[in-house]
Structure 1
């Protein structure tokens, strides 16, 4: 216990040496303030993403056909426990069992892959839950699927959400740090961060029983972030 207290004090002393402390999201700032009582000036500047590049690269052709006859979803994430892909698979299975046909495509790799492959086989979901593996250009795949889903247990500032916004996808996300990014984005559905939240969210999209709240939607502005960075240099 004493070592942890000492370590925290050392970290605080290090932070106090800086004129400004920068965070990528409001959630990250709140988390920091809940642990450290430091009066240094704190700023939130979101991660920079080249929107023009995302749009241009998404136009590249890839050998990927989507079944347009049924609702489809796509996710881009590392296959680790924190991303919640296993519970997405279980929610998908329950939807199939309940008569709601759909497909989910997953782009990404990671240590959880062997376990997911086995679970997909056990649940007989290979036709509906497809692991596409790692892709050098995920944007072309995301562009071909109407709905983007991210079911992480926790997130800070998920850049994949911003990229999906740039590509104008319908976004279904668990209630994490992604909520902050999606505040001014109309085409979204933020769901409870648990199994039934994911199940009900997907079901609403599959059955078209969700309402889009119309706001003065703001597009991602990479130039604004560059200007914010310039002000601190």
Structure 2
């Protein structure tokens, strides 16, 4: 299946042909960051294609960037290691027509992008989204071996933040000229426009009380267990708030059981995937990021663009960098439920403090220009 491309994007034979590759179109920040780049590249200069190993879910296809051809290897959403040759064969078909291959994420996408680049003699750019200093401790050792084997062989590496680049280079020594920092970014106008949409019917009762909102995969990295414990502590102290955690993942049943064991199941809501989380975030009293580690979290950029007051763990890496070490939001230690509870309770109950944080968030969003990042991406791709 191909998404149509407008005539403007195919008429110029001098366009650089760029192929980005991802495993699938999930709901996380990695996929949003890649789609933001593709949506922002100048279509007069770049002809773009986005290749997935697995078909994008129908309910997420509207997130695909316009002016970009989209294709995939299989309609199945299941992964089997024996399918790797199939993914590579389809990738090679499209990579033959490309001038540059961009591995949009670490892991399987990077492996196959490297193989395709080596077989076809095409330059490969790798993207780094995580703080690997923290992340590799939770991953099988082969993940770290893969980083050290694959990324030095790529022509360029792009890290999403300064701290992310620093931790990566401590694990994978590469020449300075090969590693470049281009921060993640969001289209602030588009995020704010989405935020103006009405609440879905299921959410209206939740917002009858002040809402602490979190958005992300229901996985250990995101620390939602700590967030639920912090919510329970705030409730014990008399703060009448609701906690809304938007996302899907393997810990859904475990997180619901934790809320029940703490006696807060009536005030904790896990609705799963939301097509437009920005409408929910805009109306929340506070956005909470409870992660144990990050890279440069897209959802935090979106919260800033919406003017949502932010309370975040000072995890490696990203939140400290984005919030200017506490100037544009509240930072608390990782794994510290009492500190997180106190910070959230203050924002929920102190209206002047909440307004101050909202203004600081908007000011920071203005500083994080998408134009500068897109110019850097265009210069990098053109140089290859």
Work out which of the two has the higher radius of gyration on C-alpha atoms and give 1 or 2: 2
Q: Are 2:379 and 1:231 equivalent residues in the alignment? A: yes
Query: Where does 1:68-217 land on structure 2 (aligned, <5 Å)?
Result: 70-176=209-315, 177-183=318-324, 187-193=328-334, 194-208=336-350, 217=364
Q: Show the counterpart of 1:36.
A: 172
Q: Show the counterpart of 1:53.
A: 190
The answer on whether the counterparts of 2:291 and 2:313 sit within 8 Å (CA) in structure 1 is: yes
The answer on whether the counterparts of 1:58 and 1:143 sit within 8 Å (CA) in structure 2 is: yes
Count of aligned positions = 228
1:139 Cα deviation (Å)?
0.9
- The superposition leaves residues 98-156 of structure 1 with CA deviations (integer Å, 9 ceiling, x where unpaired) of 22222211111111111112222232213322222211111111111131111011111
- The superposition leaves residues 46-95 of structure 1 with CA deviations (integer Å, 9 ceiling, x where unpaired) of 12422222122222223232667754211111111111111111111122
Unaligned stretches of 5+ residues in structure 2: 1-140
CA distance in 1, matches of 2:234, 2:285: 18
1:232 Cα deviation (Å)?
1.1
Unaligned stretches of 5+ residues in structure 1: none
CA distance in 2, matches of 1:150, 1:11: 27
CA distance in 1, matches of 2:206, 2:257: 24
1:14 Cα deviation (Å)?
4.8
CA distance in 2, matches of 1:71, 1:207: 9
CA distance in 2, matches of 1:39, 1:84: 34
What's the TM-score once normalised by structure 2's chain length?
A: 0.53
What's the TM-score once normalised by structure 1's chain length?
A: 0.84
SS of match in other structure, 1:143: helix
The structure, 1 or 2, with the larger RCO (C-alpha pairs under 8 Å, 6+ apart) is: 1
